[in-house]
Amino acid sequence: MELKHLRLETNPEGWHKLWIDAQGRKLNVLFEELFDELRLVVDTLRSTQDHRPVVMCSAKDKGFVVGADLKRILSIQSDTEIQGFLKHGQDVLDAWERLPNLTIAWIRGPCLGGGLELAMACRHRIVNNSIETSLGMPESKLGLTPGWGGTQRLMRWVGLRNAIPMLLGGEPIDAPRAIQWGLADGSWIDTEAIDAQMKNWIARLSQSANTERFSEQANLQEWKSSETWMAEQLQRGIQPQDNAMRKARSQILRCVEFGLLEGSASGQRCEREGFFELLSSPECQAILARFSQPKKNS
């Protein structure tokens, strides 16, 4: 199995580490070639009936995965192309989620946007207790929606009342809050051997119930009883000039609703089908152009 951006290592004690190391990037971002390699890992594990635990971790000094490759997104010129780009990632994450293996995202530093969507496709998440660790869905601030299932998976882990402010406001949460809300199962620290901590968490999580915390039915009931609160969240913190964010928030809520009423496949289709209209707006293009510029050293 030839991999460029991923590296699969097998621990002598019988579990795998899947290192994420996007070549040519200072930080890990998601793009087609990396998804292709993740699909190859999935297919290899399945074809060899390898059901050993897999711990997914970053080989970069800073961060887990900080989102999609914005330069790649900015290069997309058509609705067909963006839908294909998003569908590819959605299919790979769905396949990863369906693996029978115990999968753990081992997170330190920023885990944002597509990075959190990747982590939520794992069965468990363990976060480093440092102040640098943050988990969030900042797409609305860019004038976009999540595109790889974030509108569907987040509410299953943290519930609708916590998921909606994260999706609409775009602000990340820290490691303690992630644990408190159930987005993470626990934490790891830098002052102890990491492999030993991974081994302990594998043992603990192997014995735990492997279910999401909030059922679709519970979230649907919450949705039906929260119309006024939802309207408040839609307008919260919005300034008159924030047209891109306003449109993105409305589309995010639409995708959440589709997922609750018709199932996650419909919610993910909503993510794909509404993305290009948001992406192609001048306001969104300007925001993305600013974000994709190299940061100047102070």
DSSP assignments along 219-235, one per residue? HHHHHHT-HHHHHHHHH
Rg (CA), the chain: 19
Burial tier of 2 (Cβ tally within 10 Å: 0-12, 13-18, 19+)? exposed
Q: Can you read off the two tokens belonging to residue 225?
A: 């009883």
Strands (E), 94-244: 103-107, 110-112, 124-128, 134-136, 173-174, 186-188
Q: Is 117 a catalytic residue?
A: yes
Q: Which residues of 177-200 are buried (b: 16+ CB within 10 A; e: fewer)?
A: ebbebbbbbbbbeeeeebeebbbe
Q: Can you read off the two tokens belonging to residue 81?
A: 């192309």
Q: Is 37 a catalytic residue?
A: no
Tokens 């939802």 label which residue?
Answer: 230
Catalytic residue, chosen from 37, 139, 222, 271, is 139
Catalytic residue, chosen from 2, 37, 81, 117, is 117
Residue 253 bridge partners (DSSP):
none
**Are 278 and 248 in contact, with CB atoms under 8 Å apart?**
yes
Q: Which residues are catalytic?
A: 117, 139
